[in-house]
Amino acid sequence: MNRDARVEAFVAAFEALRVEVEKVIVGHREVITHVLTGLFAGGHVLLEGVPGLGKTLLIKTLSEGLELSFSRIQFTPDLMPADIIGTNIIVEDPDGRKHFQFQQGPIFAHILLADEINRATPKTQSALLEGMQEGAVTVGGASRPLPAPFFVLATQNPIEMEGTYPLPEAQLDRFLFKLRVRYPAIEELNAIIDRTTQSRAATVSRVVSGPAVMSFRELIREVPIASHVRDFASAIVMATHPQWEKAPEVARRFVRYGASPRGAQALVLGAKVRALAEGRYNVSVDDIKALAAPALRHRIILNFEGEAEGIDTDNLVARIMESTEAATAQSREPFLR
């Protein structure tokens, strides 16, 4: 297979997977695209939205479109880390001898749905940290690798905050993207009603295999990025830091902590997936702009003033991006420089 063929295969797989998901999920095209982007970029995705918008259904449908194992964990306050990772249990062999045997938890799957992740205690939430970052878990002093590709999709409800444990920043940073699932438009709602109230349910085909996903992940990293595009991404991430000398006024005023370097990685990786999914061999500034909000919105921690004024991080990121774009040479007339 030559290079172009690999790219064409990726584009085809990406498109096929989206089509399969869209057989079940109405609307949310951008969310679906970003979920797929996260999958091929090798990151994990957090979906946030009110109940009933199809977050869980979207992830289940995606798992059905992939030839990969799937686990679902419903996070509750009494969930323990061992319930996720697994534990050593005493088993008796046919000879009558007893010994410990590791019983894998649900984390040992290619696709893990952590439903309502903010309802579990931080201790349990933290059980996911090592697996999400390292692709392995340590039980009883032994490190056990997770299957590849390992893709965590978590959901959380932003309005029912009572009795919940908001994710700590360290864990939020492990998610490549945070996607907001918004309420569908009326046409989309009508389509949802039609699809879900009829007798015939849509069937989803498995269109992408696990090895193919891994191959595409390697291909993604080959996508070249120009220095000025990379600089633009770095400038955006740096501009979220109020301590930076060139930080825009909005960041200085409302932000307590800016995005980590993982944010810049997520931005560029996501931009590469987007470029390749569009059949392009290079990353453009528009790719960076398109991925800025999902990659940075959960990595920016507002200060008291920002929280008090109800600042939306999406708007904040957009304003930071505008000011960064204006500050860089991108928007200036080249002949006046």
Partner 1 sequence: MTESPRIDGLLRRIRGEIRRRRAEYYGLRGAFWGAIAAVGVLLAKHGIGSAAPWIAGALVVGGAAAGIAYGLARRVGRSDAARVADRAFSLEDRVATTLEWAERPDRTPLVDSLVADTIARVDALELKRVVRRVVPREGRLLAAPVVVCLLLAVAPPIPLPSGRLPDFLPSGEEEKEERATSSMLEESSRPIAKDQTKRSSFEERDFAQRAGGTGATTTGDLSAIFKDTSLASQRPDFNSFMKKGDERLRMLEQVDRLPDLQSDFTNNQYKMVFRKSKSLTSGLRPDQISPQKLRELLEEMERLGRKGGNNWSGDAMEGMEALEGGQPDRALDAMQRALDKMRAMDEAQRSGKNLRGGRESDRSGRGRDRARGDGAGPEDQDFGEGEGLMPGRGRSNTPKGEATQRLRSTPYDVGVEGESRQGRKEGYDTNLTGRGGAMASRLQYLGVIGQYRKQMEDAITREQVPRDFHDQIRSYFQSLDER
Shortest Cβ 291–partner 1 spacing (Å): 14
Shortest Cβ 87–partner 1 spacing (Å): 44
For partner 1, give the closer residue by CB, 45 or 236: 236
Q: Which residues pair with 142 in a beta bridge?
A: 139
For partner 1, give the closer residue by CB, 206 or 332: 332
Q: Does 234 help bind partner 1 (rule: CB under 8 A)?
A: no
Per DSSP, the three-state class of 60 is helix
Single-letter amino acid code for the residue at 123 = K
Cα–Cα distance, 130 to 124 (Å, whole number): 12
For partner 1, give the closer residue by CB, 4 or 194: 4
Shortest Cβ 294–partner 1 spacing (Å): 20
Q: Does 285 help bind partner 1 (rule: CB under 8 A)?
A: yes
Instruction: State the number of binding residues for partner 1 (CB under 8 A).
Output: 25
Shortest Cβ 275–partner 1 spacing (Å): 8
Q: Does 283 help bind partner 1 (rule: CB under 8 A)?
A: yes
Beta strands in 24-176 (DSSP E): 45-48, 66-67, 70-74, 86-92, 98-104, 111-115, 136-139, 142-145, 151-156
Shortest Cβ 232–partner 1 spacing (Å): 10
Per DSSP, the three-state class of 39 is helix
Q: Does 93 help bind partner 1 (rule: CB under 8 A)?
A: no
Q: Does 335 help bind partner 1 (rule: CB under 8 A)?
A: yes
Cα–Cα distance, 282 to 288 (Å, whole number): 12
Q: Does 277 help bind partner 1 (rule: CB under 8 A)?
A: no
Single-letter amino acid code for the residue at 66 = L
Cα–Cα distance, 216 to 103 (Å, whole number): 32
**String of contacts with partner 1 for each residue 189-228, x by CB under 8 A:** ------------------------------x--xxxxxxx
DSSP-derived secondary structure letter, 334: G
Q: For residue 250, count CB atoms less than 10 angstroms from its CB and return exposed for 0-12, middle for 13-18, buried for 19 or more.
A: buried
Contact present, 176 and 44 (Cβ < 8 Å): yes
Judged by CB under 8 A, the residue of 281, 308, 312, 315 near partner 1 is 281
Q: Does 292 help bind partner 1 (rule: CB under 8 A)?
A: no
Whether residue 248 is preceded by a cis peptide bond, meaning omega within 30 degrees of 0, is no
Site of interaction with partner 1 (CB under 8 A):
3-4, 7, 219, 222-229, 280-286, 330, 333-337
